[in-house]
Amino acid sequence: DAGITQSPRHKVTETGTPVTLRCHQTENHRYMYWYRQDPGHGLRLIHYSYGVKDTDKGEVSDGYSVSRSKTEDFLLTLESATSSQTSVYFCAISKTSGGSDTGELFFGEGSRLTVL
Amino acid sequence: AQSVTQPDIHITVSEGASLELRCNYSYGATPYLFWYVQSPGQGLQLLLKYFSGDTLVQGIKGFEAEFKRSQSSFNLRKPSVHWSDAAEYFCAVGDRKGATNKLIFGTGTLLAVQP
């Protein structure tokens, strides 16, 4: 358990509305990630962060933005939600050893988003 | 770029039977390989990983996996399946240790366990 909590766990929204998902961790891990999980696609990386205010794009970043103003929180924002963004979103951290990323991911329990 | 294939979408085994889940990867150099398990409504949990060294790796919950370079495979095995092993299993491949942002996940294999 890496002390990761996601909120909200479930959300239904309408097309065109903004949505923010929050990932909170309690162990001060440097690396944080947002993935989406869809049937037939496995997990795909949306954005990741390697420190406060340091973020970068992943494989499927279009339509998403992120922010990390403090170590413990990593926010994922859908500026204008679309039906194609209906998915389960997972936050994850990777632990470090000697300052280096170990490559082992620890996941939150997911946030299920439905865009009508 | 690396890729990973899990050929079996669904597998059903009887409780107590042995299990093998297949994972094939495509990568030119030595890959970094992982198996994760996802129980319903939960996030993924790391079962085991291969970075280098002994090609047979042991993981949690009695699972093991063998890296076979000649077959580009990293199959997951368990000698005797328990009902609690019913879950979805994901193989993942990376191109170097620590490059977690480059990790590629397979599409998963859903395991059902019948009494």
CA A58 to CA A36: how far, in whole Å?
11
**Rounded CA separation B82/B113 (Å):** 7
Q: What is the CATH number of domain A4-115?
A: 2.60.40.10
Residues of A in contact with B51 (CB under 8 A): 103
- Alpha-carbon distances, residue A21 vs A36, B21, B92 (angstroms): 12, 33, 25
Q: Write down all domains in chain B, each with its CATH number in brackets.
A: 3-114 (2.60.40.10)
What is the sign, positive or negative, of the torsion defined by CA atoms of A88, A28, A101, B68? Answer: negative
Contact (CB<8Å) A103/B46: no
Residues on chain A bordering chain B, Cβ-to-Cβ distance under 8 angstroms: 4, 31, 33, 40-45, 48, 56, 58, 90, 92, 94, 100-110
pLDDT at B51: 86
Angle at the Cα of A43 from the Cα atoms of A40 and A45, rounded to 5 degrees: 135
pLDDT tens string, chain A, 116 residues long: the values are 669 999 999 999 999 999 999 999 999 899 999 999 998 888 999 999 999 999 999 999 999 999 999 999 999 999 999 999 999 999 999 988 777 777 789 999 999 999 99
Token code pair at residue B68: 């076979």
Q: Nearest-CA distance from A7 to chain B in Å?
A: 14
Task: Report yes or no: A86 and A35 within 8 Å, Cβ to Cβ.
Answer: no
Q: What is the CA radius of gyration of chain B?
A: 13
B59-114: pLDDT as tens digits: 999 999 999 999 999 999 999 999 999 999 999 998 776 677 788 999 999 999 99
- State pLDDT tens for residues B21-62: 999 999 877 889 999 999 998 899 999 999 888 899 999 999
Q: Which residues of B touch A109 (CB under 8 A)?
A: 41-43
Helix (H, G, I), strand (E, B) or coil at B102: helix
CA-based nearest distance A108→chain B, Å: 5
Q: What is the pLDDT of residue B97?
A: 67
Number of A–B residue contacts, CB under 8 Å: 63
The β-bridge partners of A78 are A19, A64
Name the one residue in this structure whose structure tokens are 């994760």. Answer: B36
Query: Which sequence spans correspond to the domains of chain A?
Result: 4-115
Contact B109, A115 (CB under 8 A): no
Nearest by CB to residue A103, choosing from B94, B105, B106, is B94
Q: A110: which DSSP letter?
A: -
Polymer length of chain A: 116
pLDDT at B28: 72
